[in-house]
């Protein structure tokens, strides 16, 4: 086996995937739980979706469970999503379940990729592409370039819809606010910022907050609560999953031309 064959196989296959990502229906920023779930349900609707994750690993805040105790809590309302993914739940008390955080995130990642979503890790979203007051793509760079503060220009992709699933950072919304001004559809036009922990209220409000926050930009997961000024909720994840699924419905209605057929990985 010639080493250059291995190199050629990797370079050719990655380049093909990256070229295929240049024009997509949906580009999701952040492969945490809400982004993964959103991607899974979009691909299931036959919508061409790619995802960019800044870090080496996917999963955002989920693998760490609560304070590194690697379990998460799920409410009854999200049980259907866990069942669809085939993730084991242990009943803790009426209406509340416990799941292993590593089983949860590895299963969600695997099923999302198998459903047809291409996830690019180690790539950061550093800006958006804009046309006539509408977000229509993402500006990307290697995370290593950003972390080492090298002066290297980015590349861009186009998408019909962008999803901000960046969690507490609310990165894409903050970029839009910084570059375009206070034009988000929040009370102030700006990212209001998440409030201190109140699990019940946060879990209730996250679904309402999952919506189009600027033309072409949908926000889900903890980013939704942060942009609209709702509380954080800690290691209970039902709202996060339901938010990801709702985002897929919102985005699905915005994207024209979906054939409604499941998108399977070639």
Q: Point out which residues bind ligand 48F (CB under 6 A).
A: 29-35, 52-55, 60-62, 124-125, 165-169, 171, 221-223, 232-234, 236-237, 240
**Nearest distance in Å: CB 47, ligand 48F:** 19
Name which of 46 and 72 has its Cβ closer to ligand 48F. Answer: 72
Q: Cα–Cα distance between 68 and 165 in angstroms, integer?
A: 22
Name which of 8 and 57 has its Cβ closer to ligand 48F. Answer: 57
CB-based burial label for 216 (10 Å; 0-12, 13-18, 19+)? buried
Name which of 171 and 177 has its Cβ closer to ligand 48F. Answer: 171
Stretch (H or E) spanning 187: none
Closest alpha carbon to 118 in 13, 210, 250: 13
Q: Cα–Cα distance between 119 and 21 in angstroms, integer?
A: 10
Closest alpha carbon to 245 in 104, 112, 129: 112
Name which of 183 and 232 has its Cβ closer to ligand 48F. Answer: 232
**Nearest distance in Å: CB 120, ligand 48F:** 9
**Nearest distance in Å: CB 140, ligand 48F:** 8
CA atoms within 13 A on the CB side of 214: 28
**Nearest distance in Å: CB 19, ligand 48F:** 20
Name which of 50 and 240 has its Cβ closer to ligand 48F. Answer: 240
Structure tokens that stand for 16 in this block: 């093909």
Name which of 31 and 117 has its Cβ closer to ligand 48F. Answer: 31
Q: Cα–Cα distance between 211 and 213 in angstroms, integer?
A: 6
DSSP state of 94: T
Q: Cα–Cα distance between 201 and 205 in angstroms, integer?
A: 6
**Nearest distance in Å: CB 206, ligand 48F:** 9
Task: Please report, for residues 240, 243, 247, the alpha-carbon distance to residue 209 in angstroms, rounded to integers and kept in the order given.
Answer: 11, 8, 10
**Nearest distance in Å: CB 64, ligand 48F:** 8
Name which of 33 and 252 has its Cβ closer to ligand 48F. Answer: 33
Closest alpha carbon to 224 in 241, 235, 236, 66: 241
Name which of 27 and 136 has its Cβ closer to ligand 48F. Answer: 27
**Nearest distance in Å: CB 256, ligand 48F:** 26
**Nearest distance in Å: CB 157, ligand 48F:** 13
Backbone phi and psi for residue 24, each to the nearest 5 degrees, phi listed first: -130, 170
Q: Which residue has the tokens 């879990």?
A: 203
């Amino acid at each position: 086996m010639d080493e250059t064959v291995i190199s050629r196989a990797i370079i050719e296959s990655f380049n093909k995937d990256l070229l295929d990502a240049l024009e997509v229906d949906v580009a999701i920023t952040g492969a945490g739980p809400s982004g993964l779930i959103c991607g899974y349900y979009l691909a299931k609707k036959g919508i061409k979706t790619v995802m960019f994750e800044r870090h080496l690993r996917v999963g955002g805040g989920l693998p760490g469970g609560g304070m590194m105790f690697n379990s998460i809590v799920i409410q009854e309302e999200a049980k259907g999503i866990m069942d669809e993914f085939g993730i084991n739940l242990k009943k803790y008390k009426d209406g509340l379940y416990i799941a292993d955080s590593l089983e949860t995130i590895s299963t969600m990642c695997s099923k999302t990729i198998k459903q047809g979503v291409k996830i690019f890790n180690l790539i950061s979203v550093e800006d958006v592409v804009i046309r006539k007051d509408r977000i229509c793509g993402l500006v990307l760079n290697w995370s290593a370039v950003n972390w080492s503060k090298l002066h290297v220009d980015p590349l861009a992709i186009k998408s019909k819809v962008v999803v901000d699933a960046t969690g507490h950072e609310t990165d894409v919304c903050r970029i839009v606010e910084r570059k375009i001004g206070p034009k988000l559809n929040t009370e102030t036009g700006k990212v209001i910022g998440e409030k201190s922990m109140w699990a019940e209220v946060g879990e209730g409000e996250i679904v309402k907050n999952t919506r189009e926050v600027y033309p072409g930009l949908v926000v889900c997961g903890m980013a939704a609560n942060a942009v609209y000024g709702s509380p954080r909720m800690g290691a209970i994840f039902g709202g996060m999953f339901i938010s990801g699924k709702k985002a897929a419905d919102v985005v699905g209605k915005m994207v024209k031309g979906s054939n409604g057929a499941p998108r399977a990985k070639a």
